[in-house]
Amino acid sequence: MTLTEGLVELIREKPVSDADLHQTALFTLDAVAKMIAGRNSEPGRKLLEWGATRQGDAARRALVMGGLTHILEVDDIHRASVVHTGCVTVPVALSLAADQEIPGETFLKGVLYGFEASCRVGMAVGPMHYKVWHNTATCGPYGSAMTAATILDLTDEQTMHALGNAGTQSAGLWEFLATGAMSKHLHAGRAAEAGLVAAELAAIGFTGPPAILEGPAGFFAGACPDPDPDAVLRDPDAEWQVNLTSIKPWPACRHTHPAIDASLAVFDELNGADIERIEVETYQAAIDVCNRPVANSEYEGKFSLQHCVAAALQRGKVDFSAFGVEARKDAAELATKVTVSAGDPYVTSYPASWGAGISVLLADGSKLESSKPECKGDPEAALNDEEMISKARDLIRFGGVNDPELVVEGIMGMAEGSASLDISSVMASAA
């Protein structure tokens, strides 16, 4: 049995509870809200312009919606796999639902199964993969294929072929960070599209490589210097990965969040005191991706530990406005006082935990400190249902929809026994 065959079997034999479906509905709502909000951005408008002439193609719809979902940097993130799961699975289910009625439970299981597949592959790629490859782009196609295969009711063999052909399309490089290019959004969109195309082809007998992961010329051999293949099928009785997935409270790269959380924790103690120096200690991957002392654009600000910490300490909150021209100008001097370094316990705890600590040295010689081994939005400090729904409402309104309740009620209703999602209200909001 190959790893993809074993993965399909593991997922389809795993029991699903009402609580699992409820959690999946919350993450589906989060993804849809981000998709709607993503329209209110320059790359979002470009994606919509491109997609306007391709509306009849389910795969291209998934590409556009996946890209929109990823734009504002408020994604979910599965820490152990470093995969943004919602942006590669939910758009697939939505796109298929635009062409056919899908029972609510089937829709949610498709998303749940897709989360599991992308996360389990992501946990197996090894830390060196992430140095060059964007895991959402490379591991996401396995999840999107699993979502599509579930909704299309493919057999186990067809699903194995879908995963094989999804995996051979894996790509997505970090080079976009050098200039702040829009490629990252394409990563999510193409991952969603690739899995949907692979599943549709598998449905008509188009075969894929069974050993796409572990084969001598497969994914691990080609893109993973230090893979852990056993992780794909390890702990089959563990809880669903959706329950181990974090939600972003702040619109910035997830690697900045522990430092943001620690900074906000000391904000009230500052009382306007003069800051001499700020020391941030975290794990190496956060530094590799987000060590950016000067933020020359909104996008660079979201990938800058220095700017995010400075903005949090200045403003006492981090929202969309924290990354605009004036906000970056206001925080620029304070950001020069921020030093970042890697250290324990954060280095050895990563990737199971993403943490950071902050020390703020004041001009009077006193020091304020905060440590966040995990941060707000992680399963250990999870947002409750009302916080999740409130975040979704805010994002939907940011996207220009004054009344978000049709979307909220439609998606959450699937976990409460609704026969199917009223896709028209969601698609109208995202159009």
Q: What is the mean pLDDT of residues 341-351?
A: 95
pLDDT in tens, 228-254: 999 999 999 999 999 999 999 999 999
**CB 284 within 8 Å of CB 131:** no
**CB 220 within 8 Å of CB 227:** yes
* 254-376 under CATH 3.40.50.2300, yes or no: no
Residues of the chain with CATH 3.30.1330.120: 254-376
Please tell me the CATH code under which domain 3-249+380-430 is placed: 1.10.4100.10
Q: What is the mean pLDDT of residues 386-392?
A: 95
pLDDT band at 272 (very low <50, low <70, confident <90, very high): confident
Q: How many CA atoms lie within 13 A of 423 on its CB side?
A: 17
Q: Higher-confidence residue: 421 or 112? A: 112
String of DSSP letters for 227-281: --GGGGTS-TTSPPGGGG-EE-SSSS-GGGHHHHHHHHHHHHHHTTPPEEEEEEE
Is residue 111 over pLDDT 90? yes
pLDDT band at 429 (very low <50, low <70, confident <90, very high): low
Length of the chain: 431
Residues of the chain with CATH 1.10.4100.10: 3-249+380-430
> What does the block give as tokens for 311?
């903005």
Lowest mean pLDDT segment, chosen from 43-47, 87-91, 114-118, 176-180: 176-180
pTM: 0.91
Distance, C-alpha 253 to centroid of its chain:
10
Is residue 421 over pLDDT 70? no
How far, in Å, CA of 409 to CA of 379, rounded? Answer: 24
How far, in Å, CA of 337 to CA of 309, rounded? Answer: 10
